[in-house]
Amino acid sequence: MADIKQIPLDELQWRQPMAVAFYGGIRAENIHLYFLNSPFCDNMSNNKNLELQARANPGIAAILQNRQDFEQRLRGMNGIEYMIVDGPTQTTETMNPVWTIRKHLRQKGDDEDDITILGTYFAVSENIYQAPSLGDMLANRLISVVNNIGQVFETANQTQLWSPGGGYSYRQPVTKTPRSDLESTMGSKAGTPAPESQAPQPSQASTSSTAPQDREKYMQEAALWRSLQLSLRYGGEYMDENPLVGDPSGFMFKSTHAYTQAQQQAKQAALTKTQETAAAAAAAAAAAARPTPPPIKTELPRKASGLGKTPASANATLRAKRRKSKAPGSPVSPS
């Protein structure tokens, strides 16, 4: 058993059976005396001082057996005191009484006393507890919240499935049946024979048990093959125009926003130029493939017979004129 001095007071449950037997049970008249024996009571408090005075002076020993007189004597003193602020004033053998005890710092004033609450304690029959502080209660609630959130994440992690082709998917969590329930169910059906029509055949049982495994194996192989094809086809591409780089503790964009916009405009201009070039090449190809129209043949009308022929007399007259036009002494061409 651990030493009582090493246990924090807000985690201690104190009781003393020997004192209970000596007082003949815990009642409203002796709850102060019972509390004085606990480790919660400060040895420098006014309650301890009154107890020491009562032991040394039998004249005031009677106030220890009277709760009202004892508390009235405490109200007339300065310093630390323990007062019962709630609880029954009369008890019976069948009751399980609960008293609330407050630790006060009383400072006497002209009109009224200045009281500061330093702690709260609960006496439940023979057991005495110290009430936890507000900080301890908040810390306990926060620990409970964190624990519950951790269980939620653990349950969600068990229900998720991931495949390269389909990504993340979730399945319904399996509810575990307690072993005691299974044993009770098996015991209730042990003497009941199953009908022959409902009894599973060996071949059917083996088929039903192996079918999900084969299907899961097939889906895994298909997903692996599809992921390999996607990796070979799009392995060097990025879905983001400005991807993130760096480690998980310090992600940053690979390029600035202005640089990304300039790259997009350059790509758009190159695409427009390519489209224009393709359109011009298509127009030139269409023009080159267009057939050349055939030449148009025009026939002149034939001359009438006899027309266009120069008679011999006319030719002789022309030759005579050419001779006369020539200068004298020039050689004469033979006729």
Do strands 167-170 and 127-130 pair parallel, antiparallel, or not at all (unpaired)?
Answer: unpaired
Domain harbouring 72, CATH code: 3.10.450.580
What is the value of pTM for the model shown?
Answer: 0.44
How many angstroms separate the CA atoms of 40 and 103, rounded?
A: 10
pLDDT value for 148: 92
Structural domain count of the chain: 1
Residue 21 lies in a domain: yes
**Domain contains 168:** no
Residues of the chain with pLDDT below 50 are: 1, 190, 197, 199, 203, 205-206, 307, 335
CA-to-CA distance for 117 and 82, rounded, in angstroms?
10
At residue 3, the pLDDT reads 62
User: What number of residues does the chain have?
Assistant: 335
83 DSSP β-pair partners? 102
Residues 230 and 177: their CA atoms lie apart, in Å, by 43
Beta bridge partners of 269: none
CA distance 59 to 53: 10
Residue 102 lies in a domain: yes
Residue 91 located in a structural domain = yes
In a domain, 191, yes or no: no
Q: Alpha-carbon distance 115 to 80, whole Å?
A: 10
Nearest to 35 by CA among 125, 128, 113, 106: 128
- First CA to last CA distance, the chain: 167
What radius of gyration do the chain's Cα atoms show? 59
Beta strands in the chain (DSSP E): 79-86, 98-107, 114-124, 127-130, 160-163, 167-170, 244-245, 252-253
Q: Which two tokens stand for residue 122?
A: 């609960």
Rounded to the nearest 10 degrees, how much is the dihedral formed by the CA atoms of 256, 258, 259, 262?
160
Q: Counting Cβ atoms within 10 Å, is residue 132 exposed (0-12), middle (13-18) or buried (19+)?
A: middle
Query: What φ, ψ does residue 103 adopt, rounded to 5°?
Result: -95, 120
pLDDT number for residue 128: 92
Residue 119, classified by CB atoms within 10 Å of its CB into exposed (0-12), middle (13-18) or buried (19+), is: middle
Residues 6 or more apart whose Cβ sits within 8 Å of residue 53: 60
Residue pair 164/224 in contact by the 8 Å Cβ criterion: yes
What was the pLDDT predicted at 301? 59
| Residue 212: C-alpha distances to residues 135, 161, 204, 208 (Å) | 53, 16, 13, 7
Print the domain residue range for 75: 9-132
DSSP 52: H
232 falls within a domain: no
Q: What is the pLDDT of residue 335?
A: 46
| The residue type at 139 | A
In-domain check, residue 245: no
pLDDT of residue 104: 93
- Per-residue pLDDT of 222-252, as tens digits, reads 888 888 888 887 776 656 667 777 776 667 7
